[in-house]
Structure 1
C-alpha cells in the first residue's frame, strides 16, 4: 500500500508539472508554430524572428536517466527552456552504432515528451565521424522524419561535430546532402542543422559553399574560455555571407568541459547571440563531475534544489529565466 501511495503521489506531482508547464509555456510552439529560415534568421510561422534557448542532454548512452518526460517537464517549467537537444551518441561505446533500437527509443521518449509539452526539440546525431557511414545516418533520420515530420516541434541536427581533418567539400557536404534527401522524403520543411568542420566552428567554409535547399542552418559550437573573439568574427562573417547559425552546444568553461567558469567570456557570447538572435543549447544536463554539468552527482532526474545545482547550472538557469521573462515582456508590449 505504501509503495502504491508513493507512486501515486509521484504521478500527481509529475502531472502538476506538466499541466503547469503547458499552461505557462505551451505557447512556445503554438506561439511560433512551424519554424523556417530566412537569410540568417530563424523565423516563426507568423513571421516573427525566433530565438530559442535551452539545454543539451548528455550523450544518450552515458546519461540515459535524463531521457524522459519528467526531466523535460522540469527543464521547461523550472528552467524555462524552450528547446531541448537530445544528443544521441553514435560511434562511442554503447551508442547507436552498437545498440540502434535502444538509443533510438531514448530519442523517441524525449521527442514524444517535447510534443506533449509544447517544446521544440533537436534530434542530434552526436557523432564526430558521421560522414564515414552515411547509410546508418540516413536510416535513422528517415525513421525519425517519417514518425515526427508532421510536428512543428522537431529540428534535425545531422552531424554534431566533424573533426578538423574532415573536408567540408569532400566529406561533410556530400554526407549532409544524402541525409537531407532522406529526411526530405518524409519531412519537406522542418529545419535541418548541419555540422561544420573543426568541432562545428569553421562556418565560413559552409557559407562559401552552402547546401542547396530550404530551411537549412549550420552548427556553431563554442566553449567560452577557449573560444573568443576570433570565433565570433568567424560567425559574423559567415552570417554576412548569407547562412543561418544555431549554437546547438556551448559551455561556459574550457573546451574540455572543465576548468573555471568564464563568466566574463560567456557574457560576451550571450551579448553576441542576442544581437544576432542566435538560438542556443547549453552543455549539458549531466551529473558528471565536471564544470560543464548543471547538476551534482546523485541529484536525481528532476526537483533540483539549489544545493543540487552546480555553479554552472545556477549561472545558466539564471540566464534562461531572465531571458525567458524578458521575451514575455516584449510579447506583451
Structure 2
C-alpha cells in the first residue's frame, strides 16, 4: 500500500507539473493580443532558421531554445520552407515541429508557425525554388497544422504566407481583393479544422505595406496583421512613413512585425533591404513600444543573413549584441 501510495503521489505531482508547463491561450481583443486574464501581451522574440536546416546541422535541440530564451524572448518563429516540407515529408517534418513546440513550451516561449514562401500565391510564381508551392499545398499545410496543433496554446500564431509580392508584375498580377480572398479562405479552413491560434496576414511589397487594410480589411476579426519593416524599406522620416504604410493599422487591429533586423553594409551577407546601423534598432523598437506592437528579430542562425550569432556557442554578431542588449532591457 505504501508503494502504491507513493506512486500515486508521484503521478499526481507529474500531472501538476505538466499542467503548469502549459502556456496561457492568447486571443485578440480589439487591437491587442491578450491572455485569459484580459492582460495585454506584447511579443518580443527571435526567428529560428528552418527547423529542417537546424536538424541537418545538428542544432535542433533544447540548447538552441535555451539560448533564444536567454535573450529575454517570449516568442519564437519557425519559418517552414515549402521545399523543406516537401523533401522531408509531412510526417517527418511534423516530428521536428513536435520537438520544437515542446522545448518552447517548457521554456515559456510561444510559437509562430510561418509558411515561409516569397512570391505570388495566386499565379504560383516565386522568387526562388525553395519557395515554390501551390494553393492546394498551402491549404493542405494549414489544414494539417490546425488539426494537429489547434488545441495547443503554445502555437499561438499561424502566419499564413511569409512575403507576398508581385515585384512589378514579375510574378504576375495580384490584387488586394484576390489576396484578401485567399487569406479568408485559409482562415476559414483553419477554423473549420479546429485551429484556435491567431492567423497572421501579411501585406504586399515583401510583407511591408498594409495600406490596403484601411478600406478593405480581412473579414475575420480574430486575426493579426504582419509587416516586415526592414531599414531600407524606408530611410527617411521613418516614424511618419511607418505610420502611413503599416503603423496606422494598430489603431484598430493587432500588428506583429514578424521580421525586423539589420547589419552593417560591409558585414557578411549584407543585402537590400537590411543594410543599416544601430540607430535602426532604437527607431523601430521605440516606435513599436509606443504602440504596443510585437516584433520578432531575424535571424538566430550562424549563416542566414543578417545572422544574429557568429557560432554555435551563440556568440552575438555585432548587430546581435545590439539586439540582445535591447531585448534584455525590457
Q: Which bin holds the TM-score, normalised by the shorter protein?
A: 0.7 to 0.9
The residue aligned with 1:82 is 74
Q: Deviations over 1:202-260 (max 9, x none)?
A: 212133211222421111101124434223432233333x2321101111247836875
Which residue, out of 106, 111, 115, partners 1:116?
Answer: 106
The residue aligned with 1:156 is 158
- Aligned pairs, how many? 283
The residue aligned with 1:95 is 84
Secondary structure class of the residue paired with 1:55: strand
Q: Deviations over 1:249-290 (max 9, x none)?
A: 111247836875421122111100001111111000111174
The residue aligned with 2:255 is 245
Q: Would the aligned equivalents of 1:127 and 1:159 in 2 still touch at CA under 8 Å?
A: yes
Secondary structure class of the residue paired with 2:226: strand
The residue aligned with 1:143 is 144
2:189 maps to 1:182: yes
The residue aligned with 2:308 is 294
The residue aligned with 1:326 is none
Deviates more, 1:49-58 or 1:180-189: 180-189
List gaps (5 residues or longer) in structure 1: 1-21, 324-333
Q: Would the aligned equivalents of 1:167 and 1:197 in 2 still touch at CA under 8 Å?
A: no
Distance 1:96 1:263 in 2: 35
Q: Would the aligned equivalents of 1:142 and 1:182 in 2 still touch at CA under 8 Å?
A: yes
Secondary structure class of the residue paired with 1:96: helix
Q: Would the aligned equivalents of 2:230 and 2:274 in 1 still touch at CA under 8 Å?
A: no
Q: Would the aligned equivalents of 2:142 and 2:189 in 1 still touch at CA under 8 Å?
A: yes
1:163-202 alignment, distance < 5 Å: 163-164=165-166, 165=169, 167-187=174-194, 189-202=196-209
The residue aligned with 1:330 is none
Structure 1 or 2: more helix by fraction: 1
Distance 2:225 2:285 in 1: 18
Pairwise CA distance, 1:53:
0.6
Pairwise CA distance, 1:111:
1.8
Counterparts in 2 of 1:37 and 1:256: CA distance versus 1, 3 Å: farther
What is the TM-score of this pair, normalised by structure 2?
0.77
Counterparts in 2 of 1:314 and 1:89: CA distance versus 1, 3 Å: same
Secondary structure class of the residue paired with 2:84: coil
2:38 maps to 1:36: no
Q: Would the aligned equivalents of 1:223 and 1:252 in 2 still touch at CA under 8 Å?
A: yes
The residue aligned with 1:310 is 317
List gaps (5 residues or longer) in structure 2: 1-16, 125-133
Counterparts in 2 of 1:111 and 1:282: CA distance versus 1, 3 Å: same
Distance 1:210 1:183 in 2: 18
What is the TM-score of this pair, normalised by structure 1?
0.76
Q: Deviations over 1:118-160 (max 9, x none)?
A: 3100000000134432221121122112121112111110110
Q: Would the aligned equivalents of 1:273 and 1:279 in 2 still touch at CA under 8 Å?
A: yes
Distance 1:212 1:231 in 2: 24
